[in-house]
Every structure is written in C-alpha cells, then in structure tokens.
Amino acid sequence: METVTQTAGIMAGTSRHDREMAVNAKKQLSVCTDPVDRLRMQCLARGSSGIKGLGRTFRIMDDDNNRTLDVKEFMKGLNDYGVLIDKDEAMTMFQRFDRDNSGLIDFDEFLLTLRPPMSNARKEVIMQAFRKLDKTGDGVITIEDLSGVYNAKYHPKYQNGEWTEEQVFRKFLDSFDSPYDKDGKVTMEEFLNYYCGVSASIDSDVYFILMMKNAWKL
C-alpha cells in the first residue's frame, strides 16, 4: 500500500460519490412504495456503510447465532437502527421473507435481497480484495492480517507520533465496522455489505473495478 489517502478514498466510497448516492436515495425514497426498496433507500441514504450497519445491528440481536430472526427481533432491529418504517410496512416485509410461514426469516437471505444489485465482475473484484487482505485465510480480516499489506507509515498521525502502527490498523478496520459495535474484525459479509454501498454510488462497472484494483493493488 503506497499511500493511506488512496485507500481511504476507496474505504469512504469517495465522499463525493457517497454524497450523491445519499441524495439520490433520499429522492427515490419519496417516490418508491415497495417496502424492501424503501428500506434499501433508507440504508443507502446513510452512505456506503448503511447496509453493513443494519446487518451488524441484526447480528448483535441474533443471540443464539442461528442466523434467523423472529418478528419481534426484526422490528426491534429496525427500530434500534433508527429506520423510519411503520408497523404495517415492516410486517409486509417480514411476511415476504418468511416464505414458509414459520415465523422466522433467514438473516442471510434478507441481507442478500437488501443489497443493491451488483454485477458478478464487481463481486469478484471485491472478493479478490478481501482474499488479499485476509492473509491468514480464516475468513476474517484482523490487525494481524494488515501487517505488511497496509502501510501505516504514510498515515499523518503515525508520522507525527500521535498513533502507533496498531492504532492506525485499528482505525482502518473501524471504517468497515459498525459505529456501535467495533470488534476490530471484518468478516467477508461485512466487507461485501460495505462495498455494495460503495458500488451503489458508482454507475460504471469499469470505473468501480479500476478503483478497487488501484486501491488494493490487485
């Protein structure tokens, strides 16, 4: 990694793209009527991290790690994340995902549907970046993985002695983490959820792929 600013740009989805996406999402929110589309737009209106943040909120609630949510957990998750949605709309959404009428929805399937549509070429370049960062190959990016892949020495706060190398790495991981539950680890799902938000802000496949390749030296 040659510069931190280059990587920071891709992590932030580039702030200009993020702002444009948030504005467009708010505009679409005022006209779309489908509950899932409306929830997606509310997440994208928060920027690149919107869908990732909702996913993290639901995962915190999944106490038994069975990757399912009942209607009460679903409603509480939306409320905790600050989603403005009325009860009837939320129930309609829940019932759409509860295909077997079991009273439970599959958490992974829900997130998959919520993510903005993305081409296979974009998914592949995101996965390439994740595999490069996940040096240990355990499916999670940690501080240990970043050593040697991400160069902390270019970070201004490292240069002026304010932060240690580990603090720079931790700040880097925080960019992908939920603001309310930072654990210093980034799963493949969180990485994908984050970059779906970035992807939604960029129309051109070619530009998105080039941006990813430049940032991660793929």
CATH number at residue 8: 1.10.238.10
80 falls within a domain: no
130 falls within a domain: yes
157 falls within a domain: yes
Confidence at residue 179, expressed as pLDDT on a 0 to 100 scale: 53
- Please, where are the H alpha helices in the chain? 4-11, 15-29, 35-44, 50-61, 71-80, 87-97, 107-114, 120-133, 143-146, 156-159, 165-174, 188-200, 205-216
Q: What is the pLDDT along the chain (218 residues), one digit of tens a residue?
A: 444 444 544 554 456 667 777 888 888 888 888 888 888 888 888 877 788 888 888 888 777 778 888 888 888 888 888 887 888 888 888 888 888 888 998 888 888 888 888 899 999 999 999 999 898 899 998 888 877 777 777 777 888 888 888 888 887 777 776 555 667 788 888 888 888 878 877 878 998 898 888 778 88
172 falls within a domain: yes
163 falls within a domain: yes
Domain count for the chain, please give it: 1
140 falls within a domain: yes
31 falls within a domain: no
Q: Supply the range of the domain harboring residue 212.
A: 4-14+118-216
The amino acid at 162: E
